[in-house]
Amino acid sequence: MDRACEGNETRGLASLLGFRPVVPPNPLRRTPWCFNRRLYRQRNQIERRFRRLKGVRRVFTRYDKLDTLFRGFILFALCWISVSTP
């Protein structure tokens, strides 16, 4: 969830499903809510990690037919990404 989907309906649905939305409110809202900046930064790091993971062609196109091989290569790619990025 990001600022584009920060409406009351979306936040309510996320809460019903058991998720805790960590989105800053739109600055033009009449009644803004408090949000945890630390959790929002961690969310951003996770999104950037997924973007880098999708950059690996084998993961993006899913060449592996077996789930175990695919999961193993995802773990390998995550290890490679964490070592190669500062």
Measure the CA–CA gap between 21 and 28, rounded to whole angstroms: 19
pLDDT, average across residues 17-44: 81
pTM: 0.55
Question: Same structural domain for residues 53 and 83?
Answer: yes
Q: Both 52 and 86 in a single domain?
A: yes
On whether both 59 and 80 belong to a single domain, the answer is: yes
pLDDT score of 17 = 92
- The pLDDT of residue 26 is above 80: no
Residue 43 lies in a domain: no
**Any domain includes 42:** no
Instruction: Say how many domains are in the chain.
Output: 2
CA distances 49 to 16, 34, 60, 65, 74, Å, are 27, 26, 14, 23, 12
* pLDDT, mean of residues 22-48: 81
Structural domain harbouring 66: 48-86
Residue 20's pLDDT band, with cuts at 50, 70 and 90, is confident
Q: Which position has the token pair 């409110």?
A: 25
| Whether residue 55 is found in the same domain as residue 78 | yes
